[in-house]
Amino acid sequence: MNRRSFKGYAYLAPVLVIMLVFTAYPLVKAIFMSFCENYSIINGSYKGINLENYKDLFDDKLFIRALGNTTLYVAFVVPLSVVISLIIANLLNSHIKFQGLFQTLYFLPYVTSVIAIGVVWRWIMNSNYGLLNYILGFFGIGPIGWLSDPKYSMTSLIIFAVWKSLAFNIMIFLAALQGISPDLYAAARVDSTPRLRVFFKITVPAMMPIIAYAFIMGIINAFKVYNEVFSLFNSKAGPVNNEAITIVYYIYDQFYNNYKYGIAAAGSVVLFLLIMLFTMIQRLPGRIKAKKEAAQK
């Protein structure tokens, strides 16, 4: 190690130490815990090192449901949120009146506590006195037990989560939109290109990297969903019997309510592997493209 790189590491040392203590150590510890049968968080004792926790985990129908729900959640929330935010960001970027006001309004959910938003949505979705059912009533629909009927639990959760995640996506998309060169649009105007064509041929391709980023971040975050469930169903995971349970909710429940630390750790390891797998898959297209380009050169 030469002098210069030593200096570099010295600068990095504080953050490295913090990451080692608060990220790397718990990570290793959690992986270790997941292999300990009957692990006790109180005194660190365990019965043996084996795969018992993983066996229990996959034998638990609640965990299987959590896996299914989380997959469903990721599959709907992320694409819906990206598409809707893309449309809204474009509308906000066109020269409308009160642009600043709208931008603030759309960004509000991002800076508001999920718990507070959950309280509001619980009222909106209340089957007896909720706003949503009131509006649907004009169209002769309902009343629907959004939060009381187990059939609708996941639907309600997804609607809530899409709305909640719009804000962040809109913000980054707006920033990306403003980075697109106006010359491109000017050229399109000269050719009197239809607006839809402009959107798909200029706007979307120019925004591709940021859309990909929104997808990756969205999927990682969606896999870790917990707050949304907790706040929408008022500290439960569904109206009757955990209909909207997600992986993280399951982990929390096992750890803090059922005192099954090993199983909770095994659940987090499974989730970790899932997220890693999805992130790797998502990066594949980019990597293939890069290889192709390299080959062409």
Partner 1 sequence: MKMKRFMALAMATVMGASLLTACGGSGGTTSTTTAAATEAATTAAAETTAAASGETAAETTAAAAEKTIEPTTITFWHGMNNKQEQSLTELTEKFNAENEYGITVELVNQGSYSDLQTKLMANAAADTLPDIAQAYNNYFTDYVDKVVALDDFVANDYPDWDDILESYRTENSEYGKITGVPFNKSTYLFFYNKTMFDELGLEAPKTWDDLQHIGEVILEKKGLAAIGYDSMCDMLEAALRQHGEQYVDETGALFNTAGGLETLEFIMNMYNSGYARLVGEDNYFSDSLSNGMIGGYVGSSTGVSYISTDIEGKEFELGVCPVVGDKTNAAYNAGTNIVMFAKDENNQKAAWEYMKFMTSKESTIKWAMDTGYLPVRTSAYESDEYQQFMAGDITAQAAYEQAPYGFVSKASFTGSNEIRNVVSTTLNELITEKADAQTALDTLVAEINDVLQ
- In the complex, which residues of this chain contact partner 1 (CB under 8 A)? 19, 22-24, 26-27, 30, 40-42, 122, 125-128, 145, 147-148, 150, 220, 224, 234-235, 239-242, 248, 251-253, 255-260, 264, 268-269, 271-272, 275-276, 279-280, 283, 287, 290
Of 135, 153, 295, 275, residue with least CA distance to 216: 275
Which lies closer to partner 1 via its Cβ, residue 158 or residue 248? 248
168 vs 255 by CB, closer to partner 1? 255
> Measured from the CB atom, is 19 or 75 closer to partner 1?
19
Handedness of CA 44, 46, 50, 53 (dihedral sign): negative
Beta-bridge partners for 49: 36
Identify each DSSP E strand in 20-128 by its residue range.
Answer: 36-37, 48-49
Nearest approach in angstroms of CB 112 to partner 1 is 20
> What's the closest the beta carbon of residue 294 comes to partner 1, in angstroms?
9
Least spacing, CB of residue 137 vs partner 1, in Å = 18
Residue 29's Cα: distance from chain center in Å?
Answer: 25
Q: For partner 1, give the closer residue by CB, 158 or 177.
A: 158
- Residue 36 bridge partners (DSSP): 49
Instruction: State the minimum distance, in angstroms, from the CB of residue 44 to partner 1.
Output: 9
Taking the complex as a whole, how short is the minimal distance between the CB of residue 149 and partner 1, in angstroms? 9
Closest contact distance (angstroms) between CB of 91 and partner 1 is 31
Judged by beta carbon, residue 88 or residue 154, the one nearer partner 1 is 154
To partner 1, the closest distance from the beta carbon of 280 in angstroms equals 8
Nearer to partner 1, 86 or 253 (CB): 253
**What is the signed CA dihedral for 115, 120, 122, 127, rounded to 10 degrees?**
180
Nearest-angstrom CA–CA distance, 74 and 72: 6
Nearer to partner 1, 31 or 84 (CB): 31
| Residues 117 and 131: beta-carbon distance below 8 Å | no
Write b or e for each residue in 212-245: b if 16 or more Cβ atoms lie within 10 A of its Cβ, otherwise e.
eebbeebbbbbbebbbbbbbbbeebbbbeebbbb
Tell me whether residue 69 or residue 242 sits nearer to partner 1 (CB atom).
242
CA distances to 153, 154, 159, 170, 245 from 147, rounded to whole Å, are: 6, 9, 12, 28, 14
Least separation in angstroms between CB 176 and partner 1: 19
Type of residue at 236: K
Q: What share of the chain is helix, strand, coil (3-state, %, to 5)?
A: 75, 0, 25
**DSSP-assigned letters across all residues of 220-243:** HHHHT--HHHHHHTTSSSSSSSST
Question: Is residue 125 classed as helix, strand or coil in its secondary structure?
Answer: coil
